[in-house]
Amino acid sequence: LRISSIEPNLLKNETIDFVSDSSTFVPHFHIPLQSGSNDILKLMRRRYLRELYVDRVAQIKRVMPHACIGVDVIVGFPGETDEHFLETYTFLTKLDISYLHVFTYSERDNTPAAEMDGVVSNKVRKKRSKMLRGLSAKKRRAFYESQLGTTHTVLFEGENKEGYIHGFTENYVKVKAPWNPELVNTLHQIQLTEIDEDGMVRFEYVKEAEAISA
């Protein structure tokens, strides 16, 4: 089981410790941030500031150094200046995270944000989004590189993608192997060996673990 999304103010030490000790929950957290600027977080009416986010990431890494941490970020929120965006970019660069999900702000009728001043142009929104997606690729690559040489369990998925079958380790490293229908929905222990040209990880089998139901 993966914790797909949990607000940093709701992610308690007890939850992190539980995942660390669990044989069912895997070391992968997806934690919304939305902005690395406290000014923008306040405009968004989030119930946390970035200092809490730093603390939650540090706590996860203390007990699970190999954990994967994904982050949601919104760019172009009303009032987000170049300085605010740079603050977010710098904050994320220094943070020990694994990848980003980047969302470009879009207006919705009958919401407080739609009435706010400081509207960011679509051109600027796209530029900021592109910058963060580039940062995400660097973060994911660095995380994958940190996992090379380690042993994990991979769960293979059920789709033939151009002659390959894909899967994810418990800490969300994406791997691929030549298509073999017998691998679908099975678990295998593997050692991660190298990153290929598609940004996925090649591996060597350690041993087959067990098959699971579809």
CA distance 126 to 161: 30
Q: What is the pTM of this model?
A: 0.94
CA distance 200 to 184: 18
Angle between helices 122-147 and 82-94 (to 10 degrees): 10
**Closest-CA residue to 64 (of 164, 137, 172, 159):** 172
In this prediction, residue 212 carries a pLDDT of 53
Fill in the DSSP letter of residue 120: P
In this prediction, residue 110 carries a pLDDT of 85
pLDDT, one tens digit per residue, over 128-145 is: 999 999 999 999 999 999
In this prediction, residue 198 carries a pLDDT of 87
User: What is the sign, positive or negative, of the torsion defined by CA atoms of 45, 53, 153, 177?
Assistant: positive
Please determine, looking at this structure, whether the domain spanning 151-211 carries the CATH number 2.40.50: yes
Burial 175-198 (b: 16+ CB within 10 A, else e): bbbeeeeebbebbbebebeebeee
Task: Answer whether 113's CB lies under 8 Å from 107's CB.
Answer: yes
In this prediction, residue 214 carries a pLDDT of 43
In this prediction, residue 119 carries a pLDDT of 97
Per-residue HEC secondary structure of 8-37 comes to CCCCCHHHHHHHHHCCCCCCEEEEEEECCC
- Please name every residue paired with 164 in a beta bridge, in sequence order, or none if there are none: 161, 178
For domain 13-147, give the CATH number: 3.30.750.200
In this prediction, residue 65 carries a pLDDT of 98
Q: Would you kindly state where each structural domain of the chain is located, as residue ranges?
A: 13-147, 151-211
**Closest-CA residue to 23 (of 124, 155, 170):** 170
- Positions of the chain with pLDDT lower than 50, given as ranges: 213-214
Fill in the DSSP letter of residue 116: -
